[in-house]
Amino acid sequence: MEKVARVNDTGAIAGLSQSEPIKSLADCDQRQVYTIEEVLNSVIQGDALKVLKKLPEETFDMVFIDPPYFLQLPSRSLKRWTVKTVVEGVDDEWDKFPSFEAYDRFIGELLTQVKRVMKPNATIWVIATYHSIFRIGKILQDLGYWILNDVVWVKTNPMPNWLSVRFTNATETLIWAVKDRSAKGYVFNKEQARQFGIGKVGANVWMLPVCNGGERLRDEMGRKVHSTQKPVELLKRVILTSTHEGALILDPFAGVGTTGYVARALNRNFVMIEINPRYVEWTVKRFGQSLVIGATESE
């Protein structure tokens, strides 16, 4: 495990097989169940709420969830106060819900299904901003999950505040939990946790930039492929602190596949689900590229 955690001069994680392709398959209503062999190390294009029901129970060692945040941005365009340029916010259709009730139902259903496919000692990470993380925390607790920690991701290069009417929002929160209070023997790699967290004791605060530079996927016009692509470094920390090599990781909202991409580099297995065929295509393409990690403050 040591060798995979090390980052070489060019920013790539050293000593890894980076050329294995990823399988992709499209879910359909006729399909009732999947064996784990069929979906191992693949991205399934489909609705997570449907696909999860078809996966075998008590299968996964760790789950990473980066759900729609329901950011509720206004439909009018937002202009920066100082330079009057338009802000590129997250206004994707997949982030929209008619109400908080509808969002809560969606998250509740998802977390119910996820709990079914987690092994008894598995852990789950959910990341979101202040827009929804408190709701998600309540839903987790109502479903019987037991919260172990929250980890605060402090962005060293946050999007600046536009209108100067509130603080610049430079954080996201990750909730880390087990299935229930009695869960025993979950994985916690304390040396990694100490190394990643701030201060001598490695507290639950991670300082790192948002996804940028070479690792940000861009189309032929130079536009971001995915508005909320997560940094490789964030997934590296999640995976190294809470799994051993060979673990099986689930990501039901894969986006452009960051979780699987980093899992493969760290010798873990994965299953990803993503509803948008364009993101699935980009994930497949991304797996053909070597893994690049952007610089971090702590390295």
Where do contacts with ligand SAM occur on this chain (CB under 6 A)?
47-49, 66, 68, 94, 226, 228-230, 253, 255-256, 258, 273-276, 279
Residue whose Cβ sits closest to ligand SAM: 255
Cβ-based neighbour number of residue 189 at 10 Å: 17
Closer to ligand SAM by Cβ: residue 47 or 299: 47
Closer to ligand SAM by Cβ: residue 38 or 92: 92
Closer to ligand SAM by Cβ: residue 27 or 183: 27
Closer to ligand SAM by Cβ: residue 50 or 80: 50
**What is the C-alpha to C-alpha distance for residues 89 and 123, in angstroms, rounded to an integer?**
31
Output the CA torsion sign for 40, 41, 42, 44: positive
In the complex, least distance from residue 44 CB atom to ligand SAM, rounded to whole angstroms:
9
Closer to ligand SAM by Cβ: residue 94 or 162: 94
Hey, what are 231's tokens?
């940094």
Antiparallel, parallel or unpaired: β 171-178 and 118-128: antiparallel
In the complex, least distance from residue 210 CB atom to ligand SAM, rounded to whole angstroms:
11
If you ran DSSP here, which 8-state letter would residue 245 be given?
A: T
In the complex, least distance from residue 221 CB atom to ligand SAM, rounded to whole angstroms:
19
- Terminal C-alpha separation, the chain: 18
Q: What does each C-alpha distance from 2 to 167, 245, 263, 298 come to in angstroms?
A: 39, 11, 15, 18
Which region, left, alpha or beta, applies to residue 267 given φ > 0 means left and ψ of -120 to 50 means alpha? left
In the complex, least distance from residue 47 CB atom to ligand SAM, rounded to whole angstroms:
4
In the complex, least distance from residue 68 CB atom to ligand SAM, rounded to whole angstroms:
5
